[in-house]
Amino acid sequence: MHKYSPEKIERLLRPARVREIKPFAVLKDAGLKKGDSIADAGSGPGFFSVPASRIVGKDGIVYAIDTQKEMLEGLKKLSPPPNIIPILSGENSIPLEGSTVDFALSAYVLHETDNKARFLKEIKRIMKPGARLLVIDWKKKKEGHGPPCEERLSIKTVEGLLRKAGFVSLKASALNDSHYRVKGLKPSR
């Protein structure tokens, strides 16, 4: 199973990647707003966490969650705003209380998880009823970059996993030539 190497951490924050993905705009479009609490599951060195902290503002909170200590150390080197809380987690165990966050993000992580159903169940557990979810991942196609094609998940596969995990109001769309996004909600009941 492909896991992103912390040895390549600087590639995650390069300006060309920011221009290509536009993390601030993507999060705003997905409904993240001032005062929200967000779990960035698989935060790495903060590619989405730092823009999220600007969106949620001083009254919001960003839980930057990663399974790799080196990624969180990379985030800490950026001197992140005080509303970002780095959290070291297990792949299927996030040390947050249930129903904690208004918004959950899984960017470029789902294809890396060994047990996708358990991972999504854990994400759902930490979400408040009615909370928003955004999954971003690689299109299932061969490219000269990114994870191997056989490890990528199609949009249909991700939608099926999310439905099975109990997420509703799914909306999938292309993010760019290489990536897609799927938005969803945790049911209010």
- Map out the domains of the chain with their CATH numbers: 6-185 (3.40.50.150)
51 CB-near residues (< 8 Å, 6+ apart): 23, 24, 27
Query: Tens of pLDDT along 6-58?
Result: 666 777 888 889 999 999 999 999 999 999 999 999 999 999 999 999 999 99
Q: What is the pLDDT of residue 12?
A: 81
Instruction: List the chain residues with pLDDT less than 50.
Output: none
Q: What is the pLDDT of residue 85?
A: 98
Helical packing angle, 116-126 and 155-164, nearest 10°: 60
Q: What is the pLDDT of residue 5?
A: 64
- With H, G, I as helix, E, B as strand and everything else as coil, classify residue 149: helix
Q: What is the pLDDT of residue 36?
A: 98
Cβ atoms 131, 98 nearer than 8 A: no
Q: What is the pLDDT of residue 4?
A: 66
